[in-house]
Structure 1
Amino acid sequence: MDASCLQYRLTEDERRTFNETGYLIVEDVLSTEQIKALTAEADRILEQKIAAGHNNQQAMFYTDFIKDHQMFLDLVDCDKILPKVWDILGWNIYLYHTHMIVTPPSGQEKTDKTLGWHQDSGRVNLEMESHPRPRLSLKVAYFLSDLSEPGRGNFWIVPNSHTADEMPLSKDGIGQPKGAIPVCVKPGTAVFFDRRLWHAASPNWSELTRKVLFYGYGYRWIRRKDDMTIDGLYEKSDPIRRQLLGDGLNCNGYYTPQDGDVPLKLWMKEQGLNV
């Protein structure tokens, strides 16, 4: 990892925004060339899925994609993103969850039906005995499509809701929670969000196709959420990327890491950072 990435660490304003609202928007993370190349690969994968029987009028939710191209793998430790991730979660982290979503035009009539509001991580929200619920993880969403306007399959959020254990919803199934907003961003933007932030997918009422890559980072003692093909990736990864892909010396090292388990910690220490 190049020390030049340190220029992208969280600013105090960014830290305050994320801690207070539960999300952070970072523009211009991906270059125009990266957007084009990543979009081409997403299109290629979609074509393969359609050929295998996927209904092209429905959204494609594809999890095991970082193995499919070096560009996807390179985003695991993106220099503009990883420093912000470790500034939020610390150094004992890895990539526990990925998914690519391609949402075509729905062809549906626009409505205000209540969306599927949720916090991430399933039963974590039922079985952890604390209030507020613990952060544990976050996601970074890389937007390849122009979602600068609502109605394009934007995901919706309720800012400041990440410390709320419940979200009151309309009993008649119409309308969204108080304070809910669509996330409207341009291509190349990365959006960080706390797993506890109440959020929801929405229909794509536009003529554009929405394409987004999600990378989920959590503590190394959290189980991976998706089947993730790692075979062949360790061999072409440096020690820090190997950590982020889930490598370690032994099982106990996920809970009580030794230096060999967490090269990110050693690198941060070499840069004079507090660890």
Structure 2
Amino acid sequence: MNPSCLQYALTEEERKTFLETGYLIVEDALSPEQVAALTVEFDRIYDDKLKAGHDPKTALFYPNFIPDHDVFLNLVDYEKVLPKVWGILGWNIYLYHAHMIATPPNGQAKNDNTFGWHQDSGRVNQEMESHPRPRLSLKVAYFLSDVSEPDRGNFWIVPGSHLNDNLQLPADRQGQPEGAIPVRVKPGTAVFFDRRLWHAGTPNWSELQRKVLFYGYGYRWIRTKDDMTVQHLWDKSDPIRRQLLGAGVNCNGYYTPTDADVPLRVWLKEHQPELVR
């Protein structure tokens, strides 16, 4: 880990924004060249799925894409993003979930049906005994397509809703909850969001395909949410990347980690000691 990454550390203003609203937008997180390279591999995977029988009229949800190409692997510990992730969650973290979504134009007339609003993590939201629910994890969404205009399959959110265990939806299932907004960003933007933030995917009523990569970071004692077949990548990874890819000394190390389990903590002790406790 190059100490130069600390120029992208979470600022106090960014922390305040994330804690109060449940999300944070970082423009130009990816360069045009990175967007182009990622898009080539994204499109290759999408085309392979079409050849395998995926319906081109429906959205493609494809998890565990990290092993498919180094261009995806290199974002796991990306210097412009990871320092903000550990600034929010701390050092005992790893990539527990990753998925790409391609949302093609649906070819249908626009309607005002209520979207599928939810918080992430499924049963966690029924089984954790606390209020508000615990944060536990966050996602970083890298946008490869232009969703700066509405109706392009935009990700919708209710800012500040991450501290609410319930969301009031329209009784007739027409329209969206109070305060809901579309996330409208240019390619190369990274959007961080708390897993508890009420959000929804939406239909794509445009003529452009929506392309997004999601990287989910959580505490090391959380189980993976998809297969995450990344163990074969450990040998070619440096210690911090191995941690982020789920490596550890033994099972107890996920709960009571040693320095060998969490090299990120060792690095932070030297370079950002205020974050180590």
Q: TM-score range by the shorter chain?
A: over 0.9
Q: CA deviation at 1:57?
A: 1.3
The answer to whether the 8 A contact 2:220-2:246 is kept is yes
What residue number does 2:3 align with? 3
1:231: how far off? 3.5
Q: Which amino acid aligns with 2:100?
A: M
Residue 229 of structure 1 and its aligned partner are, at CA, apart by: 1.2
Letter in 2 for 1:100: M
**Same amino acid, percent of matched pairs:** 73
Cα deviation, residue 122, structure 1: 0.4
Number of residues paired by the alignment? 275
Deviation string 1:91-113 (CA, Å, 9 cap, x unpaired) is 00000000000010010110110
In the alignment, which residue of structure 2 is the partner of 1:28? 28
Does structure 1 retain, via aligned residues, the 8 Å contact 2:35–2:144? yes
Residue 137 of structure 2 aligns with which residue?
137
Q: After superposition, give the CA deviation of every residue in 1:117-155 in whole Å (9 maximum; x if it has no partner).
A: 000000100000000000000000000000001100001
Letter in 2 for 1:256: T
Q: Are 1:103 and 2:103 matched, yes or no? A: yes
Q: What residue is the counterpart of 1:124 in the other structure?
A: 124
1:35-76 per-position Cα deviation (integer Å, ceiling 9, x unaligned): 111001010001111111111111110001000000100000
Q: Confirm or deny: 8 A CA contact 2:109 2:205 kept in the other structure.
A: yes
Matches for 1:73-84 after TM superposition, within 5 Å = 73-84=73-84
2:260 aligned counterpart, secondary structure: helix
Aligned to 2:262: 262
Does the 8 A contact of 2:231 with 2:245 survive in 1? no
> 1:38 is paired with a residue of what secondary structure?
helix
User: CA shift at 1:226, angstroms?
Assistant: 0.4
Partners of 1:222 and 1:18 lie apart in 2 by: 22
For residues 244 and 231 of structure 1, the distance between their equivalents in structure 2, rounded to whole angstroms, comes to 11
CA distance in 2, matches of 1:272, 1:10: 12
Given residue 23 of structure 2, which amino acid in structure 1 is its aligned partner? Y
Structure 2 counterpart of 1:46: 46
- Once superposed, which parts of structure 1, at least 4 consecutive aligned residues long, lie more than 4 Å away? none
Unaligned runs of 5+ residues in structure 1 are none
- Report deviation, 1:272: 4.3
Distance in 2 of aligned mates of 1:272 and 1:39? 34
Per-residue CA distance 1:220-249 (angstroms, 9 max, x = gap): 000000011114200110000000000000
State the SS of the aligned residue for 1:114: coil
1:202 and 1:230 mapped to 2: Cα distance?
30
What is the letter of the counterpart of residue 233 of structure 2?
L
Aligned-partner residue type, residue 215 of structure 1: Y
Amino acid at match of 1:68: D
What SS class does the counterpart of residue 37 from structure 1 fall into? helix
**1 CA distance for matches of 2:230 and 2:155?**
29
State how 1:158-197 maps to structure 2 within 5 Å: 158-197=158-197
